[in-house]
Homo-oligomer: A and B are copies of this chain.
């Protein structure tokens, strides 16, 4: 934190235009003397990280929990979102008396770099040109995101995390944290995730990127200067991705072939079916809160993630000798990050001699279950944190 103390966030550029609600984010800035070393070999500076906190850090700084958000998530884990005005994305999980209890723990949730809610990303101003980076922003990795978060924690004076917790991409960050900084992670909870992105998942991400880049309003990534936004392409990207977040069974149960408020088919290309209307809404509401270039960067980071490959092809090697306590959870109907992906992590942790528990939760809610009101998941998180806090000696 060379360039001044931790401060209240000014709204990020994109959000400012539409924000109806106060932004509870804090930001820290790292100047050119503290560059972030990236996997691509570049040193990136200046670096800004936006984050939120909830709860209080205890006297011996042992009760910090880092929550890692997913692809299109952000730091607004438990507070009202400044753009949408909706409750925090993990409000059901994090808060007073919740499984991640902010009356006991100090929760920190940073916006990942490359994203668009205040941390450095493609919409940030490039100090060299005075204009938005666009595609001149460096391609970052999950390891880069974690390295930036470690800088934030250094700045906050938090040497050790009681827990690192996240689902989906957040679970990738959890694994990266445990592999890169084993001595800083007392416990790690990884939900609905994988140690490497599958070919099918890369394929779906590539469809989304092509949809964005096919939009003429994308302007080669320089749309902010052009005064446009590739909203149509971004909406299509979100629609395609959203299907993968749900299970076929849930879609069938929730929508089936139900028609909208009409007695019959219209014989047009209007949204006759409820599922069509629902998907269109998902696409349209997403573009209000997310930046298209950030979608490119964060999906790319997920596609690049392959923890075994970073450790000579052996996932067990990534965790060798760890003292971290792990919990791995998956959902039966998650076809984006199926249980087999979680089992692969568990097997590697077993091979590495790590302490690990694993649970597959029976639900038809698909990948998005990690964000939803799933009592079994709450019980598991509560139980894991309870046992770990006793082991850590946190009152």
A 343-384 binary contact with B (CB < 8 Å = 1; else 0): 000000000000000000000000000000000000000000
Q: Are B267 and A210 within 8 A (Cβ)?
A: no
Q: Are B276 and A296 within 8 A (Cβ)?
A: no
User: Which stretch (A73-81, A158-166, A192-200, A318-326) binds chain B?
Assistant: A192-200
Q: Are B279 and A203 within 8 A (Cβ)?
A: yes
Q: Are A251 and B197 within 8 A (Cβ)?
A: no
Q: Are B239 and A236 within 8 A (Cβ)?
A: no
Q: Which residues of B contact A44 (CB under 8 A)?
A: none
Query: Nearest residue in B to A238 (C-beta to C-beta)?
Result: B207
Q: Are A257 and B196 within 8 A (Cβ)?
A: yes
A19 at the interface (CB under 8 A from B): no
A139 at the interface (CB under 8 A from B): yes
Q: Are B240 and A202 within 8 A (Cβ)?
A: no
- Assuming the contacts A214-B215, A214-B236, asked whether A202 and B283 have C-beta atoms less than 8 A apart, the reply is no
- Assuming the contacts A197-B257, A214-B215, asked whether A203 and B243 have C-beta atoms less than 8 A apart, the reply is yes
Query: Nearest residue in B to A251 (C-beta to C-beta)?
Result: B199
Q: Are B210 and A239 within 8 A (Cβ)?
A: yes
Query: Nearest residue in B to A38 (C-beta to C-beta)?
Result: B267
| Among B210, B216, B265, contact of A216 (Cβ-Cβ < 8 Å) | B216
Q: Are A199 and B252 within 8 A (Cβ)?
A: yes
- Assuming the contacts A216-B216, A269-B213, A273-B303, asked whether A240 and B198 have C-beta atoms less than 8 A apart, the reply is no
Query: Nearest residue in B to A242 (C-beta to C-beta)?
Result: B203
A209 at the interface (CB under 8 A from B): yes
A91 at the interface (CB under 8 A from B): no
Smallest CB separation, A223 vs chain B (Å): 14
Q: Which residues of B contact A276 (CB under 8 A)?
A: 202-203, 206
Q: Are B306 and A239 within 8 A (Cβ)?
A: no
A304 at the interface (CB under 8 A from B): yes
A 1-25 binary contact with B (CB < 8 Å = 1; else 0): 0000000000000000000000000
- In the complex, the count of this chain's copies comes to 2
A211 at the interface (CB under 8 A from B): yes
| Among B138, B202, B335, contact of A275 (Cβ-Cβ < 8 Å) | B202
Q: Are B202 and A214 within 8 A (Cβ)?
A: no
Q: Which residues of B contact A240 (CB under 8 A)?
A: 204, 207, 240
A interface: dominant SS: helix
Q: Which residues of B contact A248 (CB under 8 A)?
A: 198-200, 335
A255 at the interface (CB under 8 A from B): yes
Smallest CB separation, A333 vs chain B (Å): 12
A152 at the interface (CB under 8 A from B): no
A268 at the interface (CB under 8 A from B): yes
Q: Which residues of B contact A32 (CB under 8 A)?
A: none
Q: Which residues of B contact A213 (CB under 8 A)?
A: 269
Q: Which residues of B contact A275 (CB under 8 A)?
A: 199, 202-203, 206
A 295-328 binary contact with B (CB < 8 Å = 1; else 0): 0100010011010010000000000000000000
Q: Are A138 and B267 within 8 A (Cβ)?
A: yes
A174 at the interface (CB under 8 A from B): no
| Among B40, B198, B236, contact of A251 (Cβ-Cβ < 8 Å) | B198
Q: In the complex, which residues 224-254 of chain A have their Cβ closer than 8 Å to any Cβ of chain B?
A: 232-233, 235-236, 239-240, 243, 248, 251-252, 254
A180 at the interface (CB under 8 A from B): no
Q: Which residues of B contact A96 (CB under 8 A)?
A: none
A386 at the interface (CB under 8 A from B): no
Alpha-carbon distance A209/B196, docked complex (angstroms): 31
Show 27 A/B contacts (Cβ-Cβ < 8 Å), sorted by A: A138-B267, A139-B267, A198-B248, A198-B257, A199-B248, A199-B252, A199-B254, A199-B273, A200-B248, A202-B273, A203-B239, A203-B275, A203-B276, A203-B279, A204-B240, A206-B275, A207-B279, A210-B239, A213-B269, A214-B233, A214-B235, A240-B240, A248-B335, A257-B306, A265-B304, A273-B303, A335-B335
